[in-house]
């Protein structure tokens, strides 16, 4: 599986320590904070949260600032990134780690109040299975907080400008580290092949989720979706 190979290679560390470290203070940490705050506003007393495709814990750290006593489970297919997460949360006794494909969570049914997934569903070889697994592990009335890049429905001047900035940044990282060019090209291709935000919203509605909110960034290049699992 290509995604598994990419994020268990040296690229995983390069992505976290170079690409993520450069881009997060500029834009992405702002999106992550919005993701967390909107989820916590709906589930302020969450006792358990899962961060699917957690990487090094970039969403989890913001969640624990809002809810420091909650149990946080970092779930990722990447062993190198989970190792970094363990280092980043080394002083936390309420943080746990699971190495798992995002199509098959080794998590009990109806066991989590909030499921975070940032830049996750897009990287699933079978997104519908990932959606089914999300539904299975979230309790009734619980929140699925999603952050991802989506295929653009209609380009505007703002979208074109932001796409140019994003692609220029990523192409710069290819020049700096040409050995990672294939992995970076994959990131572009994954967006082209992914759903539009409207298509994804409709799939969630068909999967028995309610959409509480959608917030776009960069003219719709990135979106936060807050979905609630319907009571059964």
Q: What is the pLDDT of residues 59-80, one digit of tens each?
A: 999 999 999 999 999 999 999 9
The Cα–Cα gap between 64 and 116 comes to 13
Determine which of 118-132, 160-174, 187-201, 204-218 has the lowest per-residue pLDDT on average. 160-174
Question: Residue 162: which pLDDT band, with cuts at 50, 70 and 90?
Answer: confident
Summarised one tens digit per residue, pLDDT across range 90-122 is 999 999 999 999 999 899 999 999 999 999 999
13 or 37: whose pLDDT is higher? 37
Domains: count for the chain: 1
Token pair 């049914």: residue:
109
pLDDT above 70: residue 1: no
- Average pLDDT (120-139) is 95
**Cα→Cα distances 101→201, 203, 223, Å:** 23, 21, 23
Nearest to 120 by CA among 55, 71, 184: 55
Q: What is the 3-state secondary structure (H, E, C) of the chain?
A: CHHHHHHCCHHHHHHHHHHHHHHHHHHHHHHHHHHHHHHHHHCCCCCEEEEECCCCCCCHHHHHHHCCCCEEEEEECCHHHHHHHHHHCCCCCCEEEEECCCCCCCCCCCCEEEEEEECCHHHCCCHHHHHHHHHHHEEEEEEEEEEEECCCCCCCHHHHHHHHHHHHHHHHHHHHCHHHHHHHHHHHHHHHHCCCHHHHHHHHHHCCEEEEEEEEEHHHCEEEEEEEECCC
User: Per this entry, what is the length of the chain?
Assistant: 232
Confidence bin at 126 (pLDDT 50/70/90): very high
Domain that holds residue 8: 2-229
Write the burial class of residue 103 (CB in 10 Å: 0-12 exposed, 13-18 middle, 19+ buried): middle
User: Residue 93 sits in a domain of what CATH number?
Assistant: 3.40.50.150
| Residue pLDDT, tens place only, 182-196 | 988 998 899 999 999
Please say if the pLDDT value at position 134 is more than 70.
yes
Average pLDDT over residues 155-167: 83
Q: What percent of the chain stands above pLDDT 90? A: 70
pTM: 0.94
**Structure confidence at residue 21 as a pLDDT band (50, 70, 90):** confident
């Amino acid at each position: 599986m290509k995604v598994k190979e990419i994020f268990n290679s040296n690229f995983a560390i390069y992505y976290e320590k170079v690409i993520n470290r450069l881009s997060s203070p500029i834009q992405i940490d702002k999106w992550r904070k919005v993701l967390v705050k909107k989820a916590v506003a709906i589930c302020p007393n969450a006792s358990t949260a899962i961060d699917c495709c957690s990487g090094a814990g970039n969403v989890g750290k913001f969640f624990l600032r809002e809810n420091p006593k909650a149990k946080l489970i970092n779930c990722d297919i990447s062993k190198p990134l989970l190792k970094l997460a363990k280092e980043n949360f080394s002083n936390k006794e309420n943080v746990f780690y699971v190495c798992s494909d995002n199509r098959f969570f080794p998590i009990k049914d109806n066991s989590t109040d909030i499921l975070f997934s940032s830049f996750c569903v897009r990287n699933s070889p079978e997104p519908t299975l990932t959606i089914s697994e999300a539904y299975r592990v979230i309790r009734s009335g619980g929140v699925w907080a999603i952050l991802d890049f989506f295929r653009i429905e209609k380009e505007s001047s703002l979208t074109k400008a932001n796409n140019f900035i994003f692609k220029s940044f990523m192409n710069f990282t290819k020049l700096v580290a040409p050995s990672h060019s294939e992995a970076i090209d994959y990131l572009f291709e994954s967006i082209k092949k992914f759903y539009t935000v409207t298509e994804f919203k409709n799939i969630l509605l068909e999967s028995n989720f309610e959409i509480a909110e959608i917030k776009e960034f960069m003219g719709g290049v990135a979106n936060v979706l807050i979905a609630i699992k319907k009571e059964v």
